[in-house]
Structure 1
Amino acid sequence: MSVPGVKSNPLILALPKGRILKDCLPLLETANIIPEPAFFDKDSRLLRFKTNDPGLDIIRVRSFDVATFVAFGTASLGVCGSDVLMEFDYSDIYAPLDLNIGRCRLSIAQLADTKNKNLEDPARWSQISVATKYPNITQRYFASKGVQADIINLHGAMELAPVLKLSSLIVDLVDTGSTLRANGLQEIKTITQISSRLIINRTALKTQSAHVNALIERFRQLVTLPNNEDIS
């Protein structure tokens, strides 16, 4: 469904690869946003795809990159985890809808055979080493507890860090916890609950308001949440 008056250059919707993309597909179908067949071809190397709406294209990028594409205006809207929004805190992003998908939690974990310590007692946590791909969130969290955290930035295989004595703790996304348990770790503290949001570039919201708002409303009709909060 196209919107009258839409400019010839289509809006771009940035979607994350992986688990969240799988959760997005039923929402897209219900919203009558149908990507071209190449989008579903696992062998396709395309990254940008047309849809049944001539005013909307889709790009498929890494989850951390969705927010960057939207913040810089190269994509007008996207689907992004609240963990990414908290980590980068882009001022040019407006997040009007919690899509109620990609739910998990951002948690602290340590080796299961380590004596558990009280994270609320700064005296016992004067300085620690933490491996994570969320250095900003992690630094802010431990600073709020009066703890100096030495951050080790990793982008994968986080569970190996305590096992190989690279760090004492990790901060990472946790769903079922099975990966932690399989690698001898235990979850000891939840920092925050995570879900995926519809995010909008603020400039696009002003300059292409009719089309952008029409898309927001199509997604809004799909989600009913008691606390539909903004992260902005």
Structure 2
Amino acid sequence: MTLTMAMPKGRIFEEAVQLLRSAGYDLPSSFEQSRKLIIDVPNESLRFILAKPMDVPTYVEHGVADVGVAGKDVMLEEKRDVHEVLDLNISACHLAVAALPTYQRGELNPKVASKYPNVASQFFKEQGEQVEIIKLNGSIELAPIMGLAGRIVDIVSTGQTLKENGLVELEQIRQITSRFIVNPASYRMRAGEIHDMVERLAAVIEGDGSEDH
């Protein structure tokens, strides 16, 4: 019986595929280059659904996919009813607050732009700061430049995008890595297959970690 796995397009997908290969899964060499949204791997009884990162937990929650890979940023924002069973330690980055270098704390612009309105709202609430959150779906760096918002909350990897757009990081919210998530019903009904996958992935992750010490 085929196990369906939801994966985000882009960097996480590429790193997750390499992790699966390291765990012994025989995936086609042209796998990452495929433009298909559904990819079947019959020899491994696996089916992959490629979706936007924010949509992966939704597919898993509703049982369209049994398991999936999602960034912790997405998990924090979406709060879907799924089991988060393993930190894959891939696609490391962090959520941060950023602004133009001229930004002064306490200035009159209380607006914050973000793809993560729930995360941003919770963060500023914990800081005891009242802000207005503006949800954007992309190119968040434009908001301070065009005067839409004084600050942004976004994912930062190398910091190069911020730098190229004249922004600076003000504070870090939390570290982010990708997680292996499971549909609750699938976790009960297909426990053997899912535990096997988790154990194989965990063995690779722990092996990589031991080499660093």
Task: Give the TM-score of the pair, scaled to structure 2.
Answer: 0.90
2:98 corresponds, among 106, 109, 120, to 109
- The structural deviation recorded for 1:54 is 4.5
CA displacement at 1:164 relative to structure 2: 0.2
Q: Once superposed, what is the RMSD of the aligned Cα atoms?
A: 1.9
The answer to whether residue 85 in structure 2 is matched with residue 96 in structure 1 is yes
Describe the shift of the 1:145–1:127 C-alpha distance in structure 2 as closer, same or farther (beyond 3 A).
farther
What CA deviation, in whole Å up to 9, does each residue of 1:9-66 have, x standing for no partner?
A: x110111111111211221211222334663444x3x211112544321111111111
- Work out the CA distance in 2 between the residues paired with 1:81 and 1:217: 20
Q: Which runs of 4+ in 1 moved over 6 A?
A: none
Q: Which runs of 5+ in 2 are unaligned?
A: none
* 2:8 is aligned with 1:20: no
Equivalent residue pairs, number: 208
The correspondence for 1:47, drawn from 33, 37, 44, is: 37
Percent identity between matched residues is: 36
Identify the residue that residue 146 of structure 1 maps to in structure 2.
Answer: 128
Where does 1:208-223 land on structure 2 (aligned, <5 Å)?
A: 208-223=190-205
1:48-93 Cα offsets, whole Å, 9 max, x none, are 1112544321111111111111111110111110000011111x21
Question: Residues 34 and 126 (structure 1 numbering): CA distance in 2 closer, same or farther, change over 3 Å?
Answer: farther
Counterparts in 2 of 1:56 and 1:163: CA distance versus 1, 3 Å: same
1:168 aligns with 2:150: yes
Q: Does 1:193 align with 2:175?
A: yes
- Alpha-carbon distance, 1:106 to partner: 0.2
Out of 21, 31, 39, the residue aligned to residue 29 of structure 1 is 21
In the superposition, the TM-score normalised over structure 1's length comes to: 0.83
Candidates 59, 63, 73, aligned match of 1:69: 59
With 209-218 and 98-107 compared, the bigger mean Cα shift is at 209-218
Cα-to-partner distance string for 1:152-211 (whole Å, 9 max, x where unaligned): 110111101000000000000001111111111100010110000111111100011111
